[in-house]
């Protein structure tokens, strides 16, 4: 039996609790939140779980095998470092930490203590995102020209991190997963409307190897909830829409035939635009968070390296740091170190 604990049961933590509590061979022994009301709410649903308002009661508890951290980003490093130093396996919600330096220290601690360091990049466990990766890698779309993401909604508004760190972190993780590498540079623009120093809206453009452009519009100040990414390839185009629960992917057999770029008549211009069929693949959907939590427990049991390990978390934080520098330098193009 694996004894698990969860620190932070605000908006997202209860989803982690539900998944881990439903797993065979796992017992959620403790839940911690600084807010006593959150603890009481958990006790009313899970009376067998011990709750505490002191994170030290979790990270210093030798009976806990693994700790799941779902608190604001600024607290991730300290909590994860203490849990790892005490010999616990650690699952940290995205982004892994508030800086690349903190991520590197967590990776070193996990390696020294031979413990799993896992990051909650949920979309790498999403069936639609995984299917899209297969289409991209199989060459179905041809050469990838660009990727364009929108992640908007009205709220939830955060004050601890901006829309880049909160929302675009997901898209950066997806871009690198699909494109099989890290961005080289980024140019980002953000705007603060609700709070003086927290960007509610961010437009960031990353450049990957081969000049592939990956753009994200991240905002919690928008009337519509959109979770959509378009991949434009030389042969076909793919759209992933996470709001379409039954058919998240569409592949458009559309494009412009380059030989015909400068046609001399309107008819030949029309011919150069390829308007083919739209293919909607059947995708077996499941809860990505369950797939993710199961993978974490498998890694704890087997010592296998997670798909979303500390290095993966570090890569996303490096890209976020570079985008933050760009925003502070009037959208200058900043290398991702």
Task: By CB under 6 A, name the binding residues for ligand NAD.
Answer: 7-13, 32-35, 38, 55, 70-73, 75, 93-94, 120, 122, 166
CB closer to ligand NAD, 55 vs 183: 55
Shortest Å distance, C-beta 3 to ligand NAD: 18
CB closer to ligand NAD, 38 vs 217: 38
How many C-beta atoms surround the C-beta of residue 203 within 10 A?
19
Q: How many residues does the chain have?
A: 337
CB closer to ligand NAD, 120 vs 255: 120
- Directed axis angle between helix 288-302 and helix 13-21, to 10°? 60
End-to-end CA distance of the chain: 42
* Beta carbons within 8 Å of 255's beta carbon, 6+ residues apart: 142, 233, 234, 235, 236, 237, 273, 274
For residues 6 and 4, what is the distance between their CA atoms, to the nearest angstrom?
A: 7
Shortest Å distance, C-beta 292 to ligand NAD: 8
Shortest Å distance, C-beta 233 to ligand NAD: 27
Shortest Å distance, C-beta 332 to ligand NAD: 27
CB closer to ligand NAD, 39 vs 232: 39
CB closer to ligand NAD, 34 vs 333: 34
> Pairing state of beta strands 334-335 and 185-191?
antiparallel
Shortest Å distance, C-beta 295 to ligand NAD: 13
Beta pairing partners, 318: none
For residues 2 and 163, what is the distance between their CA atoms, to the nearest angstrom?
A: 35
| Among 173, 264, 169, residue whose Cα is nearest residue 218 | 169
How many C-beta atoms surround the C-beta of residue 15 within 10 A?
16
By beta carbon distance, the residue nearest ligand NAD is 10
Shortest Å distance, C-beta 286 to ligand NAD: 15
CB closer to ligand NAD, 71 vs 222: 71
Contact (CB, 8 A) for 73 and 313: no
> Pairing state of beta strands 237-241 and 249-256?
antiparallel
Helix (H) / strand (E) element for 219: namely strand 213-219
CB closer to ligand NAD, 55 vs 313: 55
Shortest Å distance, C-beta 123 to ligand NAD: 8
For residues 306 and 119, what is the distance between their CA atoms, to the nearest angstrom?
A: 9
């Amino acid at each position: 039996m694996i004894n698990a604990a969860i620190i932070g049961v605000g908006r997202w933590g209860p989803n982690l609790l539900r998944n881990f509590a439903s797993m065979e061979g796992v017992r959620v022994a403790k839940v911690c939140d600084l807010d006593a009301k959150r603890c009481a709410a958990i006790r009313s649903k899970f009376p067998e779980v011990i709750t505490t308002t002191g994170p030290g009661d979790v990270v210093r508890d030798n009976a806990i095998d693994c700790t799941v951290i779902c608190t604001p980003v600024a607290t991730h490093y300290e909590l994860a470092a203490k849990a790892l130093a005490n010999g616990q396996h650690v699952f940290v919600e995205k982004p892994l930490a508030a800086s690349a330096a903190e991520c590197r220290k967590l990776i070193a601690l996990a390696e020294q203590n031979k413990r799993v360091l896992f990051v909650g990049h949920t979309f790498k466990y999403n069936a639609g995102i995984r299917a899209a990766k297969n289409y991209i890698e199989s060459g179905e779309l041809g050469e990838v020209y660009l990727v364009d993401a929108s992640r908007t909604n009205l709220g939830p508004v955060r004050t601890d991190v901006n829309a880049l760190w909160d929302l675009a972190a997901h898209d950066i993780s997806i871009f690198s997963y699909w494109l099989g590498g890290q961005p080289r540079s980024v140019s980002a623009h953000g705007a603060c409307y609700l709070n003086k120093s927290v960007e509610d809206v961010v437009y960031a453009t990353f450049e990957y190897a081969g000049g592939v452009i990956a753009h994200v519009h991240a905002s919690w100040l928008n009337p519509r909830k959109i979770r959509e990414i378009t991949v434009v390839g030389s042969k076909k185009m793919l759209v992933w829409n996470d709001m379409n629960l039954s058919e998240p992917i569409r592949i458009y057999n559309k494009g412009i035939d380059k030989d015909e770029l400068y046609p001399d008549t309107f008819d030949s211009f029309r011919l150069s635009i390829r308007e083919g069929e739209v293919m909607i693949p059947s995708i077996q959907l499941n809860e990505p968070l369950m797939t993710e939590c199961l993978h974490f427990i498998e890694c704890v049991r087997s010592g296998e390296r997670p798909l979303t390990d500390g290095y993966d978390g570090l890569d996303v934080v490096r890209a976020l740091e570079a985008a933050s520098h760009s925003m502070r330098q009037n959208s200058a193009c900043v290398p991702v170190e």
